[in-house]
Structure 1
């Protein structure tokens, strides 16, 4: 069985508030979606950020992040 889809999309205005590392913006239908990751240093940082430390008294996450 073959299905043929003809589609026309007219976009007059598109505003994207933010895009995170795992975001997918799709308009219309696609046979496949290819992953793409771009990293931009918009703050002109010259060295890596400090390692994150857990806050004192922080609660355990509801969903474990690693196996026990």
Structure 2
């Protein structure tokens, strides 16, 4: 299960917007919104890009994307 609140919190800490994520993912901002709100699934490539954008270490990556 993806920890959406942790992702949103880290985005805020890094002063990143959904537009920044959209640019990194090469998609539209509404797509990012849908994925960050659990309305559409996030694929592994997107999780990896987002992890790099958020500067997550291995433990944080697990906590944000893999723990349930």
Which of these two proteins has the greater Rg computed from alpha carbons? 1
- TM-score by length of structure 1 reads 0.22
With a CA cutoff of 8 Å and minimum separation of 6, indicate the structure with the bigger relative contact order.
2
Judging by fraction of residues, say which structure has more helix.
Answer: 2
